[in-house]
Amino acid sequence: MQQMMGDMDIAFPNLGIYLRNVPKTIMIGNFGIALYGILIAAAMLTGIVIAAHIAKKTGQDPDLYWDAFPWIVVSSIVGARIYYVAFMWDFYKDDLLQIFNLRGGGLAIYGGIILAVIVIFLFCRHRKADPRLFLDTIGHGLVIGQVIGRWGNFFNREVFGEYTDSLFAMRLPVSMVRESDISPLIRQHMEAGTNYIQVHPTFLYEGLWNLMVFVILLLYRKRKKFNGELFLVYLAGYGIGRAIIEAIRTDQLYIPGTRVPVSMVLGIVIAAVSIVTILIGRKMAGAGQPAAAKAETAVNAEAVEKTETEENAEAAEKTETAENVETAVKTEE
């Protein structure tokens, strides 16, 4: 690999991959469209298409999900921005207009999920739908959307980790990354005469992890015992992965007054709560099954008894009719 990189180049030296002129934007005339935005839009659209497909496959109304789509999109973006700004307040407090500058980056997925879930409960209440079943259905689309969306970070040259010389080590020109994302450890490993940093591609790690979570959801569907369980599996799976990956990221958001990454703590808490809720929910669902089975048996027994009674009555009626006919014949004779 060469010692000097072009400003728009990205390399994976240990894989022997060198990508030249990787764009950040697509130009249409004099107007530039960020690839990050295009991929986020593609992620959202793909997510709702998957959710609508699963809804149709499971006997639900796909239109319900398309009707909710605009509300989910707006709430997820607003929530993601509020979350980010809240934990980066020192940066925004002196220039409040920058809060609305989404082109400058700054969306946090947990904020988007939290507000979107609240909006989904309100939407389902209005439409008299089960919000837990709704969340189960969109969980598949959400995690695939995250896989696609993370590639927006690739084109933005962001969401990377500390220095590494592992198989997936990624090199980025210093001129194309935020200075605040370059940690002391990364600087220590910058070789003299070079213009790049070498880091963990944590966006790739998270994308692969989310792909695994998607496969788990597909396999788990037949084991589901209560509505909401699949979404809890998603939260647990994503929370564990995010907590692990967050430990090596350099663009962390911290709990105010500490150096503790908020997304790491939130990931652990959400994963733990989700796992406990799944265990309790499955136990309660299992306990309810015998009662349901008894009720079903009683209903079946009642139906059988009713049928037998009706059959006996019908047989008795036929016998009585036959006897009456025979008596009438004898009388005529």
Residue 286 vs residues 162, 221, 259: alpha-carbon distances, Å:
46, 16, 43
Please, which residues bridge with residue 70 across strands?
none
Q: Give residue 104's pLDDT.
A: 63
Contact between 214 and 140 (Cβ < 8 Å): yes
Model confidence at 330: pLDDT above 50:
no
Q: What is the mean pLDDT of the chain?
A: 86
Q: Is the pLDDT of residue 325 over 50?
A: no
Indicate whether 171 pLDDT > 60.
yes
pLDDT tens digits for 76-133?
A: 999 999 999 988 888 788 788 878 877 666 788 899 999 999 999 999 999 999 999 9
CA dihedral (240, 242, 243, 245) positive or negative: positive
Residue 301 has pLDDT above 60, yes or no: no
The CA-CA-CA angle for residues 177, 8, 251, to 5°, reads 20
Percent of the chain with pLDDT over 70: 85
215 or 294: which carries more pLDDT confidence? 215
Between 173 and 306, where is the model more confident?
173
- Say what the pLDDT of residue 247 is: 93
What is the per-residue pLDDT across 180-203, written as a single tens digit (0 to 9) for each? 899 999 999 998 889 999 999 999
142 band by pLDDT with thresholds 50, 70 and 90:
very high
Instruction: Give kind and range of the element (H or E) at residue 199.
Output: strand 196-199
pLDDT at 107: 82
